[in-house]
Structure 1
Amino acid sequence: MAEVKPDPNQMGFFEHLEELRVRLIRSAGLWLVIFVACFLNVKPIFAYLAEPLKRITKSDHIFGATRFEEPFVANLRAAFWVSLIFSSLIFFYHFWAFVAPALTKKEKRFAIPFIVFMALFFITGCLFSFQYVFPHALGYLIQWNMDELSAFTRSSYLQLLFLFVIGMGISFELPLILFFLAKVGLVNYRFLLDKFRYAVLIIFIAAAIITPTPDPFLQTFMAAPILLLYLLGTFLAWTVYKKDEEETTEDPSSGDSSDDSHSVSA
């Protein structure tokens, strides 16, 4: 006999906590499988991650170690972060499945496209940072400290790399976040346009925090795509507004129907 799942709308606080616990366990289990697969193939993965540094130094022997366990720990760290990026679709799905019961049927129709685009935007942001932003930042730091650098450790390199990669990946979620907020009625495109100057200030501050260099060109290079993403989110919020406006125009007014019912009863 199939087990009947409880109605999410009728679940209590502790039942929601239990559902969250189950989804976290499932997400962690699937991530663990991906992590093991990445760790078993960590050598080619690490070689790929080290490409920006190899291109700058023009050498294949670039890493040293200050502790015996450092290479092993660095491999674990590389497998962890890469598996986390690849598992983003899983995490986004379970997050959406957890909050979906609080949404209307109309909003739930966007579930699958929203999940897919969240994962795609996140991975695209990570790749964009890895291919363009991080190499510029790395070249600047090496040029600035070349005389004081005797060796590069794997752990310090990965720490800097994933600071840029994960930061840009999260930043690429901005259009979808603004679209979602517009769908649930918390913001609209007029509000986003009015607050654009504040968004510019906040984005440049965030870029300065993510990029550990005083180079204004690099900070601008980091902030520019985020500003474009903000404008994309504003455009998506405008499409939400236009669609809601068209649906409101097409629907008959409730006042007319109520007047008709009164006239019939009279």
Structure 2
Amino acid sequence: MSLVEHLQELRRRVIISLLALLGGTILGFLWYQHSPFGLMPLGEILRGPYCALPPESRADFTGDGECRLLATGPFEMFMLRLKVGALAGLVLSSPVWLYQIWAFIVPGLHKKERRSTFTFVSLAVLLFVAGAIIAYFVVHYGLAFLLTIGDQTQVAALTGERYYNFLLALLLIFGVSFEVPLIIAMLNIIGVLEYETIKEKRRIIILVLFVFAAFMTPGQDPFSMVVLALSLTLLVEMAMQFARWNDRRRERKRPEWMDLDDDTASPLSSGPGGLAAPDPIAAPQPVEPARPRSSFEQQGPGGSGPGSPGAFDDVL
């Protein structure tokens, strides 16, 4: 394909991805307040950790004890619903836009590279979803810690914007952070990062992960920090063990002569990585003396001299 054809192909796949994202956003916008296919409304799902708090730990704005979040602006409820719908649309339409990315890249890859790329994309999606799910359950305990401190003198009255920003930020941070071990494994596969390089720095890496969790968790509560740090430590350790196994497998498949310098000669051995040793030269054997020729053989059957036709019959 020419450059123009590549650009046209890219434009077509971007348009399809945007249309899928738009359709997913509309579905997410409707799902926010309705129950399609018997599912719980999306707003109820996201509001679940806050409503799970004891009634005395949150403000009652309706007078009937029903769980509600506070809105302080005329467009806040609409923009909040649109934001949540867009995030849900991004997740719902992910099979479409991930396939468009895959279909645009795959023609330029070899068969082995296609399998590797598909595996990495699948693992990236699974890790992101796993991180988001863990973050959702962490929010309940994080809110229980943050909103019950000093509840004898004050009550939590969260606005919808602040609560959803906190929840969505935590989901995003957990999801993106769970991609770190996949990056380590990818760098090891392409030969940039080896296990011997990182195994001595394990303690430093764990310390960096805890510092990263302390700064990145939006609520700064100790429970969210510890869960994120421990999860990342476990996943990074798994990635390091994969790097260790991959390096050993690579060494078994790599001949020794590939690690030699250009000026180093290969050993003269019959084993792998060397040349076969030369065979010894056999001792010379004596040659038998020539048998004397008779006069008839010298003259030949049809002549009387060396020039006759049969003179060179013994040579032939």
* Fold similarity call, TM over 0.5: yes
Q: TM-score when scaled to structure 2?
A: 0.67
Indicate conservation of the 8 Å contact 1:31/1:87, yes or no: yes
2:24 to 34, 51, 60: 34
State the TM-score, normalized to the length of structure 1: 0.78
Counterparts of 2:108 and 2:149, CA distance in 1: 52
Letter in 2 for 1:40: L
Change (3 A) 1:186 1:103: farther
Quick one: which amino acid aligns to residue 234 of structure 2?
A: L
Structure 1 104/47 Cα, relative in aligned 2: closer, same or farther at 3 Å? same
2:118 to 112, 120, 132: 112
The alpha carbon displacement at 1:51 in A equals 0.5
Say which SS state the counterpart of residue 68 (structure 1) adopts: coil
Quote the offset at 1:243 in angstroms. Answer: 3.0
Secondary structure of 1:197's counterpart equals: helix
Q: Counterpart in 1 of 2:250?
A: 244
| Secondary structure of the corresponding residue to residue 53 of structure 2 | helix
Q: Does 1:141 align with 2:146?
A: yes
Name whichever structure is richer in helix by fraction. 1
Q: Which has the larger radius of gyration?
A: 2
Matched residue pairs, number? Answer: 248
1:161 aligned residue (145, 167, 170): 167
Whether the 8 Å contact between 1:63 and 1:151 is mirrored in structure 2 is yes
The percent of aligned pairs where both chains have the same amino acid is 29
2:205 — aligned with what?
199
Distance 1:215 1:15 in 2: 52
Residue deviations 1:25-78 (CA, integer Å, cap 9, x gap): 333222222111111111100111111011114463221211122211111111
SS in 2 for 1:109: helix
Evaluate the alpha carbon distance shift between residue 214 and residue 127 of structure 1 in structure 2; reply closer, same or farther with a 3 A threshold. closer
**Match of 2:49, as an amino acid?**
P
Please state whether the residue corresponding to 1:152 is helix, strand or coil: coil
Question: Take 2:83 and 2:26, find their aligned partners in 1: how far apart are those partners?
Answer: 12
Compute the displacement of 1:175 (Å).
2.2
Amino acid at match of 2:144: G
Residue 52 of structure 1 pairs with residue 57 of structure 2: no
1 or 2 for the larger relative contact order (CA 8 Å, sep ≥6)? 1
DSSP-derived class of the 1:56 partner: coil
**Unpaired segments ≥5 residues, structure 1:** 1-5, 261-266
Could you tell me which residue of structure 2 aligns to residue 64 of structure 1? 70
Gap runs ≥5 in structure 2? 34-40, 56-64, 260-265, 267-271, 277-316
**Deviation string, structure 1 residues 157-214 (Cα, Å, up to 9, x no partner):** 1100011111101111222222211121111222232332332232222212222345
For the 8 Å contact 2:170–2:217, the answer to whether it is kept is yes
**Residue in 1 that maps onto 2:82:** 76
The answer to whether the 8 Å contact 1:92/1:119 transfers is: no
In 1: Cα distance, 2:178 partner to 2:95 partner: 15
Calculate the aligned-residue CA RMSD, in Å.
Answer: 3.4
In 2, distance between residues paired with 1:234 and 1:102? 30
